[in-house]
């Protein structure tokens, strides 16, 4: 918005100094600005110029702005002001800096549940305002990982994303479109629950479950495709309780889903308690075996004790419970693989030692035979190779991480989220070695790392949230 040759940013509405355009959302163009009266950063949402003559879009923008001002939740942007200037509607909200969850990769089950619980709680607040004029409650931005900005340690904001091009928005939202909407039915509270269930699956697996070639085919695919169990995408995760929650939330028939977002939140709370409750130690009470009231003495033999039938049954039941618990307990696949890896490395090392011993023995035997028989034969020489430097269990090795973000990860000169300390963008999949950390700054854990790229060695700080530990 700055004209050529102008160095000072423009001021609009006599109050807001505009710095830069961040992008376009579904209805608005979004600018980063400063409120000169209150000296605070803000976001300005202006109805896009191409929609100024579209009366339906203008009315939709004003309606959504008015309803946004009536809601208050940490997941939503706080509304400071709204109105219309020179025939162009606008909305002023708090400013946020964050990155979208889309493409961030698979999260842990705990992280995914925490994020979806925040969003579902915010949606439930809007749905509680249902009335004849608002059949599904107050307006909120559509559910999509592209509309969710990660702004802190596990904290998110649901926004009308300005990072997507407007022409890409329909294809993005089609991944969350409830089946009944493609058959002509109206939007209902259970339709949003369907989108929340898709989002939960996506955050745990890193993949969207329903796909098509374009927006229309993706939307219609929800009529025939179903959400698979989590272990189909992440074989190390087997959580039937989470699968049941997602299956019910994404049921094709809306009557079989959770009725609204509030009911979905209650179900997630119960699941959270089930997954996080500490396991109590099994207490085995000793079984008292009374002496026989009457015993027959034979020589030096002691009286033969008798056991009550109830004590035998108790012992058998306790054994059965322990066996059933062992059979139904979760199997740690990663630990099993690590143990097998360690055994394989140790076995390979022992085999190499045996081969070296055989080679040394053969060398000694041949040398002895040549000296003994006085043969004029060149003496064999041992090869000059060495054993590889193995990172065996018990031997300290470097702590390695892998950059786990498709767009690349910023390498910073200091452990903070300031934009002026960015050194470079490190490509996805780059292996880095930890030097220091973690250090928490700006509510983000940071690691000082070192890595080699294109024959050069670099050092700097990276966010631990986007680094995956290499086993």
| CATH code of 83's domain | 3.30.200.20
For 387-412, what is the mean pLDDT? 67
Q: Is the pLDDT of residue 389 over 80?
A: no
| Domain span including residue 459 | 400-469
Q: Is the pTM of this model over 0.85?
A: no
Residues 143 and 272 in one domain: yes
Q: What pLDDT shows up at residue 91? A: 95
- Number of independent structural domains in the chain: 4
Indicate which CATH number applies to the domain containing 458.
Answer: 2.30.30
- Residues of the chain with pLDDT > 70, as a percent, come to 77
- Answer whether residue 3 is part of any domain: no
Same domain, 256 and 117: yes
Provide the CATH number for the domain around residue 199: 1.10.510.10
Q: How high is the mean pLDDT of the chain?
A: 82
Whether residue 173 contacts residue 76, with contact meaning beta carbons closer than 8 Å, is answered with no
148-150 and 156-158 strand pairing: antiparallel
Instruction: Provide CB contacts within 8 A for 447, sequence distance 6+.
Output: 401, 434, 435, 436, 437, 438, 439, 461, 462, 464, 467
Is 70 exceeded by the pLDDT of residue 391?
no
Q: What HEC string does 288-311 produce?
A: CCCCCCCCCCCCCCCCCCCCCHHH
The two three-digit tokens of residue 317, written as one number: 């039941």
CA 303 from centroid of its chain's CA atoms: 66
| Domain shared by 153 and 243, yes or no | yes
Q: Are residues 437 and 420 in the same domain?
A: yes
- Could you tell me if 163 and 244 lie in one domain? yes
Phi, psi of 347 (to 5 degrees): -65, -40
Is residue 452 within 8 A of residue 470, CB to CB? The reply is no
Give the C-alpha separation, 105 to 204, whole Å: 8
Strand partners, 415: none
Nearest partner of 471 among 331, 347, 341, judged by Cα = 341
Q: What is the mean pLDDT of residues 200-222?
A: 95
Pair 53, 198 in one domain: no
Rounded to 5°, the CA angle 104-106-110 comes to: 115
Same-domain check for residues 119 and 234: yes
HSE-CB at 328 with a 13 A cutoff on CA atoms is 7
Q: Does the pLDDT at position 383 exceed 50?
A: no
Within a domain: 288? no
Q: What is the pLDDT of residue 327?
A: 43
Interior angle at CA 309, CA 304 and CA 310, nearest 5:
125
pLDDT at 392 over 60: no
Q: Please check whether residues 140 and 21 belong to one and the same domain.
A: no
Q: 140-150 pLDDT, tens per residue?
A: 999 999 999 99
Least confident of 169-178, 192-201, 296-305: 296-305
């Amino acid at each position: 918005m700055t004209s050529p040759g102008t160095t000072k940013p423009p001021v609009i509405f006599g109050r807001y100094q505009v710095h830069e355009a961040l992008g376009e959302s579904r209805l608005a163009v979004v600018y980063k600005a400063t409120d000169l009266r209150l000296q605070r950063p803000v976001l300005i949402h202006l109805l896009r110029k191409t929609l100024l003559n579209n009366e339906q879009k203008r009315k939709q923008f004003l309606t959504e702005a008015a309803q946004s001002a009536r809601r208050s939740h940490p997941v939503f942007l706080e509304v400071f002001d709204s109105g219309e200037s020179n025939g162009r509607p606008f909305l002023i909200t708090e400013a946020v800096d964050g990155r979208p969850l889309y493409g961030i990769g698979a999260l842990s089950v705990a992280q995914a549940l925490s994020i979806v619980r925040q969003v579902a709680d915010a949606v439930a607040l809007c749905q509680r305002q249902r009335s004849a004029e608002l059949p599904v409650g107050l307006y909120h931005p559509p559910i999509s990982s592209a509309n969710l900005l990660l702004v802190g340690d596990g904290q998110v904001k649901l926004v009308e994303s300005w990072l997507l091009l407007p022409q890409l928005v329909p294809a993005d939202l089609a991944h969350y479109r409830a089946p009944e909407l493609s058959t002509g039915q109206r939007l209902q509270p259970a339709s949003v629950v369907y989108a929340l269930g898709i989002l939960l699956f996506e955050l745990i697996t890193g993949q969207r479950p329903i796909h098509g070639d374009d927006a229309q085919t993706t939307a219609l695919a929800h009529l025939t495709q179903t959400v698979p169990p989590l272990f189909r995408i992440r074989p190390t995760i087997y959580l039937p309780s989470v699968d049941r929650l997602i299956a019910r939330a994404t049921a094709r028939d809306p009557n079989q889903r959770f009725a609204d977002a509030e009911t979905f939140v209650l179900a997630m709370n119960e699941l959270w308690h089930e997954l996080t409750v500490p396991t109590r130690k099994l207490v085995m009470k000793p079984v008292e075996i009374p002496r026989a009231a009457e015993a027959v003495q034979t020589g030096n033999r002691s009286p033969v004790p008798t056991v009550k039938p109830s004590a035998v049954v108790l012992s058998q039941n306790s054994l059965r419970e322990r066996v059933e618990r062992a059979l139904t307990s979760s199997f740690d696949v990663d630990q099993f693989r690590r143990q097998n890896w360690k055994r394989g490395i140790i076995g390979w090392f022992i085999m190499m030692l045996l081969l070296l011993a055989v080679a040394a023995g053969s060398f000694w035997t041949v040398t002895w035979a040549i000296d003994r028989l006085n043969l004029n034969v060149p003496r064999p020489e041992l090869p000059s190779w060495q054993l590889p430097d193995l990172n065996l269990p018990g031997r300290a090795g470097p702590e390695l991480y892998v950059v786990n973000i498709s767009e690349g990860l910023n390498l910073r000169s200091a452990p903070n989220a300031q934009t002026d300390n960015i050194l470079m963008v490190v490509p996805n999949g780059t292996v880095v070695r930890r030097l220091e950390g973690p250090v928490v700054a700006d509510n983000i854990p940071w690691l000082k790392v070192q890595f080699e790229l294109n024959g050069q060695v670099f050092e700097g700080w990276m966010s631990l949230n986007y680094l995956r530990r290499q086993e």
